[in-house]
Amino acid sequence: MSSPKFPVEKSALRRFLLSKQALLGADRPLSSALQMIKKLECVQLDPVSVVERNQHLVLGARIPGYEPKHLDDLLAGGKVFEYFANAACVIPMEDFPMFEPTRIRIQQNVAESLEKQGLVVDTVMEQLRSEGPLPSRAFQSEKRVHGYWDNKLPKTKETSLALNLLLDSGIIRVVKRERTERYFDITEGSISPDLLDNTSAMDEATAREMLIEKYLRAYRVFDPRDFRFGWQKLKAAERRAEVERRVADGTVIPLEIDGAERQYYMLAEDLDELERFASNDQSLEFSGGTVTFISPLDNLLWSRERIKDLFDFDYKWEIYIPRAKRKYGPYAMPILYGDRLIGRMDPQIDRKNGVLVVRLLQLEPWVEKTNELRHAIRDALEAFAAFNGAKDIHVDQSDLKM
């Protein structure tokens, strides 16, 4: 017998999700970077630097006064670590043990490649033992090899390939960043003894369960058809079974969302909070106010299908789309206003001249262009420029008179 579905309006579910994502206007908490990473479960890393990097945009959108140094300090202080969750992410250090089976699986996958790099790997490990932590530039090599990220010709320094294979397998890790430069050290020597003991004791079944639960808390409103479900290599039938088992034991609730194409679920522990947003309490009534620019790899956007179903907003990151086929621009960021995504802003920082260049600012056709909205967008652009170190703003194209 199937479990009854909980009926909910899109607007209530949007507000619930935004609240869990620390993006709901006045409800946004004043928080430290570490508290925010724990609330979100993890934050995705990305090297693209059209503006500030994704991890800093995510935290800066949620924490007043946030600076990139705050995250760098957490990493150097051993409060967070970097590894694969939704993708390459920064994760609270206490979660390190649950990723051990993932590290073992990747070690097995790259074992042959590591063996081929044998002498180079040994040299890198010995240098880290004697001198670490070290940046990649500390490892000298003239030979170029074919890295797995190279499209055609071998152009990767062999020590760089060795570092990346060791990093992916968890044998070494990033222990600090000085802006764009990563410093590596051997994992075993850079983790506390207690955490290493917990990691050694972690069995695959327990880790699997913990990772799935972490995924569910990160997404809050989820769909088992997501190929990243549980941040593990799970087949479609396994993903469905994990959700169905939790529905059967009452820890997960199926949702009935009018107009949604997909079946979504939520944690039962969140039901009371969702019902608050579904109530007629006027104190929770939506109002506009704050505008926030959402980075392309923000936690809110991890499921493009969910964004379409709940926000009626189609979003695609166009950075890897050929220029001629782009519709909005390579780094177009959704514009959040209250509980709606109302358009896109495609930015680029002219660092030499200290200018935020807005290549396109375009609103959805249904958006009413009020004076309140104009002021909110102007304030958001000024804050975004300041966060990115720009003193001036130049708008190339916009359908909103500022």
* Structure token digits, residue 144: 């170029």
Among residues 235, 264, 234, the alpha carbon closest in space to that of 247 is found at 264
Q: What is the pLDDT of residue 1?
A: 43
Per-residue pLDDT of the chain (402 residues; tens, 9 = 90+): 467 899 999 999 999 999 999 999 766 777 899 999 999 999 999 999 999 999 999 999 999 999 999 999 999 999 999 999 999 999 999 999 999 999 999 999 999 989 988 899 999 999 999 998 999 999 987 777 766 655 565 667 889 899 999 999 999 999 999 988 999 999 999 999 999 999 999 999 999 999 999 999 999 999 999 999 999 999 999 999 999 999 999 999 999 998 888 999 999 999 999 999 988 554 444 556 789 999 999 999 999 999 999 999 999 999 999 999 999 999 999 999 999 999 999 999 999 999 999 999 999 999 999 999 999 999 999 999 999 999 999 999 999 887
Question: Do 224 and 243 touch, CB atoms closer than 8 A?
Answer: yes
* Structure token digits, residue 224: 């088992």
Strand partners, 135: 183
CA distance 138 to 128: 10
| Alpha carbon distances (Å) from 43 to 27, 53, 316 | 20, 11, 19
